[in-house]
Amino acid sequence: MASGGRVNIIYALIMVSKWLTLTLSSIAFFVMTKQFELMGALRSFRVPEGFIFSLGMGFRFIPIIGISR
């Protein structure tokens, strides 16, 4: 029975480390990338304009959400 609890703790630590990696890399991406650079790169890959516009608007409002807290 003790080994089952140990497996659950290890699984939880792995899941937390995955979540932290994803969260911190997302924060680093949004801090280091300028909006016009991202939109230009997506246009060069011929991504549909509707998707680029939506992503660009979301990218613009992320700092505003952080400031309002």
- The string of pLDDT tens digits covering residues 5-57 is 778 899 999 999 999 999 999 888 888 888 899 899 999 999 999 999 998 88
pLDDT of residue 30: 80
pLDDT tier, 1 (very low <50, low <70, confident <90, very high otherwise) = very low
For residues 40 and 23, state if they share a domain. no
For residues 62 and 40, state if they share a domain. yes
Are 52 and 42 spatial neighbours (Cβ–Cβ below 8 Å)? yes
Which structural domain range is residue 15 located in?
A: 1-30
pLDDT tier, 63 (very low <50, low <70, confident <90, very high otherwise) = low
Say how many domains are in the chain: 2
For residues 66 and 42, state if they share a domain. yes
For residues 37 and 69, state if they share a domain. yes
pTM: 0.58
For residues 5 and 22, state if they share a domain. yes
Distance CA 44, CA 57 (A): 18
For residues 2 and 15, state if they share a domain. yes
For residues 17 and 46, state if they share a domain. no
Distance CA 29, CA 10 (A): 29
